[in-house]
């Protein structure tokens, strides 16, 4: 993410990929959470690994979309197109899970268990 002011970047939308029948939850990040996420992403090093295939049913990661990029976050990797960043502690996924709105809180333990599994 470029170092422009937040007002230049527009909203950051997070989507949690976990459901099959019902639509996956989507929510916007508040400016503070978006800034914290950008700072965290800036600390990650490039990785050679490719993301593993997600399971069909259950937790399959997050997508973070803003005016600059669509980032896929799953299993300790953040990918943008062909570029991957390593996040072995799955910090980004946990940070995103922490922004889960109250109406989706029943999904929190499910994702947390997948992250710790």
Partner 1 sequence: MMLRVDVDIFSGRPNPAWVVSDEDAAGALLEEIAAVADEAVGLSGAGYGGLGYREVVISSMSDDESWPESLPRTFTLGTIGAPDPRRSAELARRIVADMPRYRGFKLPGHAETPLDDTTRDLVLEQMDRFFQDPPEWFRPPLFPSNSLRSTIREDEPIDTGCFYEVSEFNPDFWNRPEVQPYNNCYNYARNYRTDTFAQPGRAHGAQTDVMACPDVTRAALADGLVRRFDCLPDSEYPRRLMALVIWPGVDYHWYREQRGDFWGHKPGSTAARNYDNRGALITDPETCDRGGYTDFCGYFYAGKSVVIN
Residues that bind partner 1 (CB under 8 A): 17-24, 54-58, 60, 106-107, 110
Report DSSP letters for 6-41, one per residue: HHHH---EEEE---SSSPPPEEEPPHHHHHHHHHHH
Task: Decide if 28 contacts 11 (C-beta within 8 A).
Answer: yes
Alpha-carbon Rg for the chain in angstroms: 14
Q: Which is nearer to partner 1, 38 or 60 (CB)?
A: 60
As measured in angstroms, the least distance from the Cβ of 74 to partner 1 is: 12
Distance (Å, whole) CA 25 – CA 99: 12
Contacts of 95 (CB under 8 A, 6+ apart): 36, 37, 40
């Amino acid at each position: 993410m470029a170092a422009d002011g937040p007002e230049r970047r527009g909203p950051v939308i997070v989507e949690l990929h976990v459901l099959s029948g019902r639509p996956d939850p989507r929510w916007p990040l508040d400016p503070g959470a978006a800034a914290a996420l950008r700072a965290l992403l800036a600390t990650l090093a490039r990785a050679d690994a490719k993301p593993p295939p997600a399971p069909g049913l259950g937790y399959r990661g997050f997508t973070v979309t803003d005016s600059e990029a669509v980032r896929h976050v799953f299993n300790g990797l953040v990918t943008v197109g062909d570029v991957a960043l390593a996040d072995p502690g799955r910090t980004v996924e946990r940070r995103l899970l922490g922004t889960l709105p109250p109406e989706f809180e029943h999904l929190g333990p499910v994702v947390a268990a997948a992250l710790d599994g």
